[in-house]
């Protein structure tokens, strides 16, 4: 028996479990990510030969594997939503991005700086890394499959899915601010980096990311549905792997142009979705992406569990643990609630959206990326321990509670008539667990 044989066997078992477990855990207070995360911990505690998992030593591998998982998840999120992009129809999303995300970053950075006694650059990095949300890790709180009806999405699922689709890209400017701050601190304090950062890392890269995504999405939409050549009209052949082509094309071209590929991938998916909303090819693309995403997410969470079992949390201090808990249990819920004030979400719906800002694969990617760019004057393993602990708690806490909480919301929603404001804004009353 060789190490490769053991790995192949576990890969086979994992693939079958990824196919079977969603139906097994449906309706139960547990989720697929929780199962794979716990499985990784348990398996790596067994006396069997398995390869070491260490994102600190294997930083480049961790960065690129998580990068692929994030962009595929972004394509899936964009293809899934039915509601056209608009100021009023996406009002909850804009609030979560413009108010909630900003408040979360600022308060988390202050907490890390004060409680952990980290340099400002490291505290800001932690806030940036933990800013992206990831509803993929709790399928109950994301929208389901594409449909023709733009109103067939309840506001809770739509808000969380659209927020995650965009804040994965918007966390990049904050990450670059932390990198620039660390570089300035290393060569003597200076504020000269702020102008360049605002012009390049905020304005230019965001604009390029969105415009690139729109152009590529419109071109692909024309190619899929409207070109006169039947050979090139790919929607007629219903091949789901085309979604991967769209994902990598949008990401690669935008990164080459100097923009944020994460923003471009989600924008591309939205533009393709808008090209022909009623076509069944959207379901083919979405289903294929969802399957790939499920396999990658299950694999990465298994490996994260392995990292935990091998001592990944050993450098964690009580201050680091408290910082993660404060983010999940206090900062995000209160920032989400504040951001949604005055919006159309009311009562428990507002609290669910505020509380289910799940941290996941995006946080792992940003940390691996940033640590490859600059020294933050904090032990890397301590940074990894805090982020890993926060993701662990988020996956377990949100994964276990999301099903019962959203099911209760669905029951209350079906028992109450929709408000006039929700109907005018485009929010439907339909409820579809993913």
pLDDT value of position 111: 95
- H helix or E strand, kind and range, residue 80: helix 59-80
Answer for the pair 335, 103: CB distance below 8 angstroms, yes or no: yes
Judged by DSSP in three states, 233 sits in: coil
pLDDT value of position 186: 60
pLDDT value of position 345: 81
Reading phi first (left if > 0) and then psi (alpha if -120 to 50, else beta), residue 426 is in left
Instruction: Give the predicted TM-score (pTM) of the model.
Output: 0.88
DSSP, res 25: S
What is the pLDDT tens value at each position of the chain, 434 positions in all?
Answer: 566 666 777 778 777 777 776 666 666 667 788 888 998 999 899 888 888 899 999 999 999 999 999 999 899 888 887 777 878 888 888 999 999 999 999 999 999 999 999 999 999 999 999 998 886 666 667 666 665 555 556 788 888 888 888 888 899 999 999 999 998 876 455 667 888 899 999 999 999 999 999 999 999 988 888 777 777 777 777 788 888 999 999 999 999 999 999 999 999 999 988 888 777 787 888 888 888 988 898 899 999 999 999 999 999 999 999 999 999 999 999 999 999 888 778 788 888 888 888 888 999 999 999 999 999 989 999 999 999 999 999 999 888 887 777 778 777 767 665 554 444 444 444 433 33
The rounded distance, in Å, linking the Cα atoms of 414 and 406 is 12
Spacing of C-alpha 28 from chain mean position = 23
pLDDT value of position 306: 94
pLDDT value of position 143: 62
pLDDT value of position 304: 95
pLDDT value of position 428: 47
pLDDT value of position 360: 87
DSSP string computed for 163-187: HHHHHHHHHHHHHHHHHHHHHHHHT
Answer for the pair 22, 377: CB distance below 8 angstroms, yes or no: no
């Amino acid at each position: 028996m060789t190490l490769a044989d053991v790995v192949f066997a576990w890969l086979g078992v994992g693939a079958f479990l990824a196919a079977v477990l969603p139906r097994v855990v449906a309706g139960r207070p547990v989720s697929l990510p929780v199962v794979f995360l716990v499985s990784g911990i348990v398996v790596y505690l067994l006396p069997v030969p398995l390869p070491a998992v260490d994102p600190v030593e294997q930083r480049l591998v961790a960065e690129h594997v998580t990068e692929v998982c994030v962009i595929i998840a972004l394509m899936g999120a964009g293809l899934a939503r039915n509601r056209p992009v608009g100021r009023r129809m996406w009002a909850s999303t804009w609030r979560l991005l413009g108010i909630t995300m900003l408040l979360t970053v600022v308060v988390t950075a202050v907490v890390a700086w004060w409680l952990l006694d980290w340099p400002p650059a490291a505290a800001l990095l932690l806030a940036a890394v933990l800013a992206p949300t990831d509803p993929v890790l709790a399928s109950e709180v994301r929208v389901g499959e594409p449909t023709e009806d733009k109103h067939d999405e309840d506001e809770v699922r739509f808000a969380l899915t659209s927020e995650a689709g965009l804040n994965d890209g918007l966390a990049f400017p904050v990450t670059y601010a932390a990198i620039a701050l660390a570089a300035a601190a290393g060569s003597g304090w200076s504020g000269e980096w702020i102008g360049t950062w605002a012009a390049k890392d905020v304005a230019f890269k965001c604009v390029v990311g969105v415009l690139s995504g729109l152009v590529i999405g419109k071109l692909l939409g024309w190619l899929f549905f409207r070109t006169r050549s039947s050979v090139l009209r790919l929607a007629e052949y219903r091949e789901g792997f085309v979604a991967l082509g769209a994902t990598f094309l949008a990401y690669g071209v935008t990164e080459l142009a100097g923009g944020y590929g994460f923003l471009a991938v989600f924008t591309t998916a939205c533009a393709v979705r808008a090209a022909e909303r009623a076509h069944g090819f959207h379901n083919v693309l979405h289903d294929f992406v969802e399957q790939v995403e499920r396999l990658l997410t299950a694999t990465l969470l298994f490996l994260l569990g392995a990292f935990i079992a091998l001592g990944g949390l050993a450098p964690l201090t009580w201050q680091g643990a408290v910082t993660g808990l404060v983010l999940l249990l206090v900062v995000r819920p209160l920032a989400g609630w504040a951001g949604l004030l005055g919006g159309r979400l009311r009562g428990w719906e507002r609290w669910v959206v505020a509380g289910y800002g799940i941290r996941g694969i995006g946080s792992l990617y940003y940390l691996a990326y940033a640590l490859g760019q600059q020294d933050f004057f904090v032990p890397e393993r301590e940074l990894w321990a805090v982020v890993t602990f926060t993701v662990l708690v988020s996956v377990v806490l949100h994964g276990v509670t999301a099903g019962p909480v959203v099911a209760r919301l669905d029951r209350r929603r079906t028992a109450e008539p929709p408000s006039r404001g929700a109907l005018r804004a485009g929010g439907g009353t339909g409820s579809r667990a993913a």
